[in-house]
Amino acid sequence: MSDGETRGPREDVDDFVREAAERIGYRFRDPELLRDALTHSSLSAGRSACASERMEFLGDAVVSLALSAVLYELHPDWTEGQLSLGRSGCVRTQALARKARALGLDAALRLGRGEEKTEGRRKPSILAAAYESAIGAVFLDGGYSAACAAVRRHFEPELAGRVDAEIDFKTRLQERTQQQLGTVPTYRLLESSGPDHARHFVVAVEIAGNVAAAGTGSSKRRAEQDAAARALDTYDWPSAPSG
């Protein structure tokens, strides 16, 4: 091991790879892929392209696609806006970092001394990248089906638990508009039609006096929720201030 290198709980490479793979739930044909995936760029001085960063690039796309497929299957009644919002909640840095910790990848990371001293194992950005890199390694070793299966195992229990629970998009939208725009959204009924047993409602949500999105549903409340979900997904939100 080089002077600048630190490892997880095992010095033996075989133990290191095997334990990390067991946590992920995939048996690698080429274990060195996972070793590279969990080697932080702080150990890659002088290399033009860090292997873990390249795998992170792949993993980011695979995780997003796999989550999209699982959400599509588990929630057949969700709109595009709801599916997109559900996915974005899973791929945020904090969410991926929690998944990395749950799989024990924080202990398996190989970091340079500088990152070790600054508690790099606890940094959400490093942990999220480690999860994506690990999935990228699974993709390279076993293809998309293997990587998708791993992502599904990691996320499906929490996603499936929300099948019957209504996400309160109206509350989320109100909190966001208050925080970022200093205002609150308003809702306007555009259309109601159909017989009593099959009503159809169309509702517009307005932000700062402008229509942000329109939603539909079998009740006015459901149409408002749908409109709020679409607004969260498509509204041109101001960029967060730097620093």
Is 156 in the active site?
no
DSSP annotation string for 154-176: HHHHHHHTTTTSPP-HHHHHHHH
| CATH code for the domain in which residue 138 is found | 1.10.1520.10
202 pLDDT higher than 70: yes
* Higher-scoring residue by pLDDT: 80, 47: 80
Residues ≥6 apart with Cβ < 8 Å to 127: 96, 97, 100, 101, 105, 106, 121
Burial 156-188 (b: 16+ CB within 10 A, else e): beebeeeeeeebebbebbeebbeeeeeeebebe
pLDDT given at position 39? 83
Please report, for residues 36, 206, 226, 238, the alpha-carbon distance to residue 90 in angstroms, rounded to integers and kept in the order given: 24, 27, 20, 22
Same domain, 155 and 55: yes
On the CB side of 121, CA atoms within 13 Å amount to 17
207: CATH: 3.30.160.20
Mean pLDDT throughout 7-28? 68
Neighbours of 102 (CB within 10 A): 12
Q: Is 206 known to be catalytic?
A: no
Give the Cα separation of 52 and 39 in Å (integer): 6
Of 92, 230, 77, the closest CA to residue 162 belongs to 77
Which helix (H) or strand (E) covers residue 139, if one does?
helix 124-160
Q: Which of 41, 40, 61, 28 is nearest to 105 (CA)?
A: 40
86 and 200 inside one domain = no
**CA-CA distances (angstroms) from residue 21 to 26, 28, 65, 117, 188?**
6, 7, 22, 26, 52
Cα gap 122→53, rounded to integer Å? 18
Residues 36 and 102 in one domain: yes
User: What is the DSSP code string of 78-124?
Assistant: --HHHHHHHHHHHHSHHHHHHHHHHTTHHHH-BEEHHHHHTTGGG-H
Q: Which of 36, 132, 224, 226 is catalytic?
A: 132
Q: Is the residue at 243 inside a domain?
A: no
Residue 134 sits in the same domain as residue 206: no
Residues 68 and 141 in one domain: yes
Cα–Cα distance for residue pair 37/147, rounded to 1 Å: 14
Q: Which of residues 160, 194, 210 is at a domain's end?
A: 160
The pTM (predicted TM-score) of the whole model is 0.65
Residue 242 in any domain: the answer is: no
Q: Above 60 in pLDDT, residue 2?
A: no
pLDDT at 6 over 60: no
**Pair 128, 201 in one domain:** no
Query: Is pLDDT above 90 for 186?
Result: yes
Residue 74 is assigned to a structural domain of this protein = yes
Q: pLDDT digit string (tens) for 95-118?
A: 898 899 888 888 778 776 766 666
**Does residue 150 share a domain with residue 40?**
yes
Domain span holding position 118: 5-160
Domain count, the chain: 2
148 and 201: one domain?
no
pLDDT tier, 196 (very low <50, low <70, confident <90, very high otherwise): confident
Residue 86 has pLDDT above 80, yes or no: no
Catalytic residue, candidates 36, 56, 60, 116:
60
